[in-house]
Amino acid sequence: MAIRQRRLNDLENNNKHDRLIRGTAMNGKVRAFAIQTTELVEELRRRHDTFPTATAAMGRTVTTAAIMGAMLKGEEKLTVQVNGDGPIGQIVADANAKGEVRGYVSNPHVHLPSNSVGKLDVAGAVGTEGFINITKDLGLKEPYRGSVPIISGELGEDFTYYFAQSEQTPSAVGVGVLVDTDNSVIVSGGFIMQLLPGLTDPEITAIENAISTLPPVTTLLEQGLELEELLRRLLPDVQVMEGLDIHFSCECSRERVEKTLISLGQTEMEQLIEEEGQAEVVCQFCNEAYDFNKEQLETILEQAKN
């Protein structure tokens, strides 16, 4: 069957939705997050018409961004930019503390042959040269900015490197996306585990062994493993705290687009009206198109003059 029976069952039962859980273990010396992002990544795939390899790269990025967003508080938010030298171009994801996430890739129609282990070649699409840039709006005068070089292009390893280098927090990042033969997303999700001060060598060894023997996250999620059990496989003594619903959300609106057109200034607006007589503005994040006819543009021009 083109569409896995698991997905059909989930759709019929409608008992699965994207969410994140967080927990602590080893007397508070480890904090961990587990997340399912299947609906989010499928929504983005549909909106941007991404091909399988691009879907996997975008999905890994927005999944990580969603977990990082859950580490924030209140109205804080962040932007993740993956700028590699591969054919996919730039990957961008926005997330906040409320579980709202959006994202896009520069070149959605990228699909490569499977890599040497039979998996989607995310590293080939992303590239192995470039940078990951994280910008956090924490409500301060200036945003926090962190940047690290891409070390593998697989993204899980790259975000692990980011936490160690830019935030000085030893971490393990595991993210994955499983794509069906019809290009739709079967499952998407992942985890981030962060090691805090005070761990003993045997405790660190136990964590490393748990990570190294854990099957791929997508395999576990496709089998129906709950997020709580995923964390327990990594950390048997984990204490799970509150959860968070994860969903796609874009801030664009017709009013925001009108403000963007006004910001072009009187000269450019007059030129647009004279040469085109209309305008179509497409949001990069959600791919929604906003159309303006000549009369509407002339009204906006009057606002620009004022």
Q: What mean pLDDT do residues 145-153 have?
A: 97
User: To which H or E segment does residue 178 belong?
Assistant: strand 171-179
With bands split at pLDDT 50, 70 and 90, how would you rate the model's confidence at 16? low
For position 276, what pLDDT does the model report?
A: 87
Per-residue pLDDT reduced to its tens digit, 242-293: 899 999 999 889 999 988 888 888 888 888 888 888 889 999 999 999 999 9
For position 239, what pLDDT does the model report?
A: 96
Question: How many whole angstroms separate alpha carbon 119 and alpha carbon 262?
Answer: 47
For position 11, what pLDDT does the model report?
A: 41
SS3 of 206, please?
helix
Per-residue pLDDT reduced to its tens digit, 28-48: 999 999 999 999 999 999 999
Residue 186 CA to its chain's centroid (Å) = 16
For position 14, what pLDDT does the model report?
A: 39
CA atoms within 13 A on the CB side of 264: 19
pLDDT at 305 over 80: no
Residue 126 DSSP label: H
- The tokens describing 289, both together, are 């198109």
For position 2, what pLDDT does the model report?
A: 42
CA proximity to 236, closest of 71, 30, 70: 30
Residue 25 pairs in a beta bridge with 30
CA proximity to 187, closest of 2, 6, 1: 6
Per-residue pLDDT reduced to its tens digit, 41-99: 999 999 999 999 999 999 999 999 999 999 999 999 999 999 999 999 999 999 999 99
Q: What is the mean pLDDT of the chain?
A: 91
For position 173, what pLDDT does the model report?
A: 97
CB 245, CB 19: distance < 8 Å: yes
CB 112, CB 129: distance < 8 Å: no
Residue 137 pairs in a beta bridge with 77
For position 13, what pLDDT does the model report?
A: 43
Classify the C-alpha dihedral 294-295-297-302 as positive or negative.
positive
Question: How many whole angstroms separate alpha carbon 256 and alpha carbon 265?
Answer: 15
For position 269, what pLDDT does the model report?
A: 86
Write the secondary structure of 170-219 as one string of H (helix), E (strand) and C (coil): CEEEEEEEEECCCCCEEEEEEEEEEECCCCCHHHHHHHHHHHHHCCCHHH
With bands split at pLDDT 50, 70 and 90, how would you rate the model's confidence at 194? very high
Question: How many whole angstroms separate alpha carbon 304 and alpha carbon 262?
Answer: 5
Residue 102 pairs in a beta bridge with 94
pLDDT at 128 over 80: yes
- What is the amino acid identity at position 20? L
Per-residue pLDDT reduced to its tens digit, 206-247: 999 999 999 999 999 999 999 999 999 999 999 999 899 999
Residue that the structure tokens 């998996």 belong to: 119
SS3 of 62, please?
helix
CB 147, CB 131: distance < 8 Å: yes
Q: What is the DSSP string of 221-264?
A: HHTT--HHHHHHHH-TT-EEEEEEE-EE-----HHHHHHHHHHT
pLDDT at 12 over 50: no
- The tokens describing 139, both together, are 């409500």
pLDDT at 198 over 90: yes
Using a pLDDT cut of 70, give the percent of the chain over it. 94
